[in-house]
Amino acid sequence: MRWWAWAGGLVVLSLLLCGVGLSVGSTGWSPPWQAQGDPLAWQIAWDIRAPRCVGAWLAGALLALSGGIAQGLFRNPLADPYLLGSSSGAALGVALFLVLVGVSPVATGILVRMGLTGAAFVGAVLAVLLTLVLSKGVQHTLRLLLAGVVVGVVLGALTALTMLLEPDIMRAMQAFMLGTTGFLGWDSVMILWPMLLVSLLVAWGCSRALDALSLGDAAAISLGVRLGLVRVLLVGALALSTGTAVAQAGLISFVGLVAPHLVRSRVQSTQGPRLVLSALAGGILLLAADILARWVWAPLELPVGLLTAVLGGGYLLWRMHRMGVTS
Amino acid sequence: MNPILAGLKRCLLAAAMALGAVCSHAAPVTVTDDRGVTVNLPAPPQRIVSLLPSLTETVCELGSCASVVATDRYSNHPASVRTLPKTGGLDDANVEMIVALRPDVVLLAISSRVTDRLEALGLKVVALEPKTYEDVRRVASKVAQLLGAGAAGERLWQRMEAQVSHAARQVPAQARGLRVYYEVDSAPYAAGESSFIGHTLARLGLVNIVPAQLGPFPKLNPEYIVRADPQVIMVSARHGGTLPGRPGWSGIRAVKDKRICAFTAEEGNVLSRPGPRMGEAAEIMARCLKGIVPSGGAR
């Protein structure tokens, strides 16, 4: 099957899931079109469920796209969007934010305006910058990877220390670390979609270079790829799209790792289409997880990050098992 | 008459001394803690390490604050315990330090990870887990029993109960029956009817939007709260400002009418601990209700 046929199928599936998402809420299955004339039901559908569906889809797409970029750029199938320390940076940003807002009424005004999302975004971007400084630029892939891991561990430890000293923030931190799609509104959507568009354009533009890069650095250079520029662009897209997604929806695990693998296991193609399909698959994965998260125990909610791991990981394990049997 | 009077006086003196001896060098104490483990002590403990803020508060409230030699990192009430050595938190208690303090007994929560380690090192450990009002009552009487203070635990409970009732009488009549949402943390986690906070809210005459069957502190779908449309919201000051910005929340009646109780971190400590300060917690809530629901005003 051609890749654009796959893309069309995934778009249709996304729209169908969105329809389901509009109909699932705190009372279980309750489609808004059944509650004609009830203004509250319409308000809930339009102000809460709709942005939540679109936002979850966009966040999943951003994470999967950055995962795909990371796996191509580092030529490592285990690479995920959080590789350059952005997740631990975001977590530390959120932890410090919660502590500061809790203790100092003076700082509260400015901080609240910046908000949790601002703190997470700033933390994520600063962590990637720190990684870049430690690795002295993007020239050496291995050094970049190592610096990212070190930054991740150190910032993670600082986050743990902050939580230890201020146990009040523990519950809020746990919610952030497991991912939360509950408070995605239209303002989140307005931040997410331009970022997805920009990242997709950058990724598409660099996809030929990624194809060449899969043969190794030397081969890519001999094919005329401006390696430095491509790396800067892709690391930039990776950092910004991950930072945006994490800031809006928390540390949702596994989407970024598993969505590109799902696509690779099904579709043979070059990097460009593969990245687009990864984004679509990631969106579907997170949207499906979000719908289940609010459906299974309504009106209670499961952490959406747990469900992405169960859904995506379960499917991938099943595929691996099947491939092991047939080959 | 004189010798008889003198004899009587001697008798009374002896009796008083005997009574005094019973009180000061009290008999051995035996307490069965919440794990079902029976702990025997030769006498009421003179050196106590408390690893749970609400237990520290209970010991102090029962008049044995002077016997507390160290606490966990988070115990901060009454003020006198702030200067005591701190032996770490729930998951990182400093075993060496606790042993070096040679406590007669260590008070901690059932969920504490150091219990086995401390017992293996020969320390007496009493594990108590206050979660509900009933637990607080039981814990108060167990701690009192441990301290050799007998009925003081029940008296402490009665005092606290009276304080809650007093707070309930302070709530303006217009506030009674209002639907309330108490946010424990922004995920959002709520305090349901079955939690100790929910119990206090009910005593103040408020109607919780989170029924008991959802559990004490459930993680809710935010849509549920918008649908329930609470008339009063109680939240930490940390998250109070974010409420109108949450999708769909600006239409909630409590947000529209600005009937939001935003508690400071200090108040949050009182509100979130199931212990002897639950009466004070009720008073904090009542004070806020008085502020946001003017008595005599339109409902």
| B6 part of a folded domain | no
pLDDT at B170: 92
pLDDT at A180: 85
Q: What is the pLDDT of residues B197-256, one digit of tens each?
A: 999 999 999 999 999 999 999 989 999 999 999 999 999 887 887 888 888 898 899 999
Q: What is the pLDDT of residues B27-84, one digit of tens each?
A: 899 999 999 999 999 999 999 999 999 999 999 999 999 999 999 988 998 999 999 9
Residue B114 and residue B224 in one domain: no
Contact B90 A101 (CB under 8 A): no
B241 shares contact with chain A (CB less than 8 Å)? yes
pLDDT at B14: 52
Mean pLDDT of B268-295: 92
B211 shares contact with chain A (CB less than 8 Å)? no
- For residue A238, CA distances in Å to A54, A68, A234 come to 21, 9, 6
- Name the residue range of residue B177's domain: 171-292
pLDDT at A173 over 60: yes
B214 shares contact with chain A (CB less than 8 Å)? yes
SS3 A234: helix
pLDDT at A165: 83
Q: Is B215 left (phi over 0), alpha (psi -120 to 50) or beta?
A: left
Contact B186 A301 (CB under 8 A): no
Q: Which residues of A touch B186 (CB under 8 A)?
A: 172, 175, 183
How far apart CA A289 and CA B244 sit, in angstroms, is 27
Contact A102 B265 (CB under 8 A): yes
Residue B227 sits in a domain whose CATH number is 3.40.50.1980
pLDDT at A254 over 80: yes
B25: confidence class by pLDDT, cuts 50, 70, 90? low
H/E/C letters for each residue in chain B?
A: CHHHHHHHHHHHHHHHHHHHHHHHCCCCEEEECCCCCEEEECCCCCCEEECCHHHHHHHHHCCCHHHEEEECCCCCCCHHHHHCCECCCCCCCCHHHHHHCCCCEEEECCCCCCHHHHHHCCCCEEECCCCCHHHHHHHHHHHHHHCCCCCHHHHHHHHHHHHHHHHHHHCCHHHCCCEEEEEEECCCEECCCCCHHHHHHHHCCCEECCCHHHCCCCEECHHHHHHHCCCEEEEEHHHHCCHHHCCCHHHCHHHHCCCEEEECHHHHHHHCCCCCCHHHHHHHHHHHHHHHCCCCCCC
pLDDT at B184 over 50: yes
Determine whether A136 is exposed, middle or buried from the number of CB atoms within 10 Å of its CB (0-12, 13-18, 19+): exposed
B63 shares contact with chain A (CB less than 8 Å)? no
B9: confidence class by pLDDT, cuts 50, 70, 90? low
Q: Which residues of B touch A182 (CB under 8 A)?
A: 187-188, 221-222
Exposure of A160 in the CB half-sphere (CA atoms within 13 A): 8
A164 shares contact with chain B (CB less than 8 Å)? yes
pLDDT higher for A324 or A127? Answer: A127
Residues 209-268 of A with CB under 8 A from B: none
Q: What is the pLDDT of residues A225-242, one digit of tens each?
A: 888 889 889 999 998 899
| B88 part of a folded domain | yes
Residue B35 and residue B137 in one domain: yes
How many folded domains does chain B comprise?
Answer: 2
Exposure of A154 in the CB half-sphere (CA atoms within 13 A): 12
SS3 A183: coil
Which pTM does this prediction carry? 0.82
pLDDT at B8: 57
**Distance of alpha carbon B141 from its chain centroid, rounded?**
13
B298: confidence class by pLDDT, cuts 50, 70, 90? very low
A294 shares contact with chain B (CB less than 8 Å)? yes
pLDDT at A45: 87
| B228 part of a folded domain | yes
Residue B145 and residue B182 in one domain: no
Specify whether domain A24-326 bears CATH 3.40.50.300.
no
Phi then psi dihedrals of residue A302, to 5 deg? -85, 155
Q: From the CA of A34, how many Å to the nearest CA of chain B? A: 16
Residue B144 and residue B210 in one domain: no
pLDDT at A163 over 60: yes
B189 shares contact with chain A (CB less than 8 Å)? yes
> How far apart are the two ends of chain B, measured CA to CA in Å?
76
Domain-ending residue, one of B150, B182, B208:
B150
Residue B287 and residue B197 in one domain: yes
Of these ranges, A113-117, A134-138, B136-140, B182-186, the one predicted with the greatest mean pLDDT is B136-140
pLDDT at B297 over 50: no
